[in-house]
Amino acid sequence: DQQVKQNSPSLSVQEGRISILNCDYTNSMFDYFLWYKKYPAEGPTFLISISSIKDKNEDGRFTVFLNKSAKHLSLHIVPSQPGDSAVYFCAARRRGSQGNLIFGKGTKLSVKP
């Protein structure tokens, strides 16, 4: 039973446009959410996070939105650049579990010039 779901295996966006990556979760005990980016043959790289007490966190071109009632979060990249092409993983931490992260299956983003 997947607790963190990324239902879109892939997404293709034109350079300069907005990329929106979605993530749904089922466990209401999750209190912290993270996005990681992964290039081929490299380990995941931390991108941005959000606590469950917030509904938005912004860092440069990257913004994460959290809708707790819908158990949904999204990552917005504006404007998208070809270097953003990678696999993006959504991850969640259960309250009280310290650092254990539960990951989604990932969404492969392709930004076309």
Partner 1 sequence: EAGVVQSPRYKIIEKKQPVAFWCNPISGHNTLYWYRQNLGQGPELLIRYENEEAVDDSQLPKDRFSAERLKGVDSTLKIQPAELGDSAVYLCASSLGGTNTEAFFGQGTRLTVV
| 49 makes contact with partner 1 (CB under 8 A) | yes
CA 88: distance to chain centroid? 6
The residue range among 38-46, 53-61, 64-72, 75-83 that interacts with partner 1, by the rule CB under 8 A, is 38-46
| 98 makes contact with partner 1 (CB under 8 A) | yes
Task: Return the number of other C-beta atoms located less than 10 Å from residue 76's C-beta.
Answer: 16
- Closest approach, Cβ 24 to partner 1, in A, equals 14
Shorter beta-carbon distance to partner 1: residue 13 or 34: 34
Question: Are residues 35 and 91 in contact, defined by beta-carbon separation less than 8 angstroms?
Answer: yes
Question: Are residues 36 and 42 in contact, defined by beta-carbon separation less than 8 angstroms?
Answer: no
- Closest approach, Cβ 14 to partner 1, in A, equals 26
| 22 makes contact with partner 1 (CB under 8 A) | no
| 14 makes contact with partner 1 (CB under 8 A) | no
Mention every residue, 6+ apart, whose C-beta is less than 8 A from residue 32. 49, 50, 51, 52, 92, 93
| 50 makes contact with partner 1 (CB under 8 A) | no
